[in-house]
Amino acid sequence: MEKIEFGLRVKKNIFKKSSEDYPLVSIITAVKNGEKYIKKTIESVISQTYKNIEYIIIDGFSTDKTLDIIKKYEDVIDYCVSEKDNGISEAFNKGIKLSNGELIGIINSDDWYEPNTVEKVVKVYKSDKNIEIIHGDLRFFKDNVPLFVISPHNNPQKIWTDMIYNHPTCFVKKDIYIKYGMYNEKYKYAMDYELLLRFYINGVKFYYINDILANMRYEGKSDKNAIKALKETREISINYGYPAYKANFWFIYKSTKYILKKIIGKDSKVIQFLRKFSKRKKIISNK
């Protein structure tokens, strides 16, 4: 089947642009067979309080009702393309290449933004355009119940062993992708870790907003494939120069913690003890 394209670019030849007061922000959603949650994701983008947003959806040739749902919004979505691809990394890269915004955010099809997320991000960006990545806190939900909020680790060097930045909250200057490259399509689970580690190593300037910018459902693809993601994380850190013995230690530690959580439960005393080594999790009531 040939690719399907629709949206404002296709229907009305509308291509949005930046202005001095209202920089264009591109938001990308990659989806495949996401009929269960895609509606909430879309509505969280199109209802943002900041309006100069370019919304691009990359569909991996869904076979469920995903495209039918997206088409209901074709008059407010800038561009949607549906065709077969080689995974989420390729979908992200496709979206980045199609983007015209000064800043690019990526929100997956089972995640959603807070209503004023982009407005907060743009406010920071306009105050200092030397800032290259803006990010914030990520709230996790399960069965529509908030569980906890994750903040970035207070020690940036922890990125050598952990994904310390919340990828769904990140807004990256497009110039940074041009300068340092896009997603490595070799990786299927830790592609966001590899990208942000590469940016960190190259001295990219991060700015943290101390607020919830995005929401994620617990047990996403990376959670269901946690061991595979940990293996990729270990490989990536070693490839960038982290000592193999340290990378192997953290792989064993995190794999053991994950397996124990599955066997004895996430609320056991053992897991609670291991959590003391993490400084990223916050109690939901604090937010």
What number is the average pLDDT over the span 227-232? 92
Rounded (10°) angle between helices 88-98 and 191-201: 50
Q: Name the class of domain 4-218.
A: alpha beta
* Domain boundaries, given as residue ranges, for the chain: 4-218
Task: Name residue, tokens 């995903």.
Answer: 66
What are 46-56's pLDDT values in tens digits?
999 999 999 99
Q: By the 8 A CB rule, do 46 and 29 touch?
A: no
pTM of the model: 0.90
Q: What is the DSSP letter of 201?
A: H
What are 102-160's pLDDT values in tens digits?
999 999 999 999 999 999 999 999 999 899 999 999 999 988 888 899 999 888 899 99
pLDDT attached to residue 69: 98
What are 68-108's pLDDT values in tens digits?
999 999 999 999 999 999 999 999 999 999 999 999 999 99
List CB contacts of 223: < 8 A, sequence separation 6 or more. Answer: none
Q: How far apart are CA 15 and CA 218, in angstroms?
A: 35
pLDDT attached to residue 218: 78
